[in-house]
Amino acid sequence: MPTVHTVVDSPVGPLTLVAVDGALTGLYMDRQRHRPPEERFGEPDDAPFGPVIEQLAEYFAGQRSEFDVPTALTGTPFQRTVWAALCEIPYGETVSYGELAERIGRPSASRAVGLANGKNPISIIVPCHRVVGSTGNLTGYGGGLDRKQHLLDFERSNSAHTQPALAFEY
């Protein structure tokens, strides 16, 4: 199946959604570190993105805390393990890179966890913004620290009002 994409507006700027065979393979912010070249996004086509766009709108309206759209994450087994663990971080909460490394059974791999976190191809939906430094300080975020702070502040302010949606599944 061909790769297709669309661009949607959001409170953190335009988001490029990429899909193959109806499964989301990318959600990229403009000027995002590790953003693939535009030519890899395929042809413009809004058709496969209806549920993703709807769920992102609900998220940014404070009405959704988890996503249940089909995804196809491509990465190493270690990266996929880290990305799966990201989805277990509750809405409105944060963990450190070290805590995440412990959660996946690799307590000495906090730097590798950070690298895998930075390569997450589906930002927001796979919530890499919920990982912070060991002191609680914001550290690297592919979309920029200002966006990371915005997402964390947004989730914290809405966490008491947001009803959990269906769990994210691979």
- Residue 6, C-beta contacts closer than 8 angstroms, at least 6 positions apart: 16, 17, 44, 45, 46, 49, 53
For the chain, what is the total number of helices (H) and then of strands (E)? Answer: 5, 6
**Catalytic, out of 17, 125, 128, 132:** 128
Between helix 77-86 and helix 110-118 the angle, nearest 10°, is 80
Neighbours of 11 (CB within 10 A): 11
Task: Specify whether the CB–CB gap between 14 and 30 falls below 8 A.
Answer: yes
Q: Read off the DSSP letter of residue 121.
A: S
Active site residue 87: no
Angle at 141 between CA 117 and CA 108, to 5 degrees: 40
Catalytic residues: 128
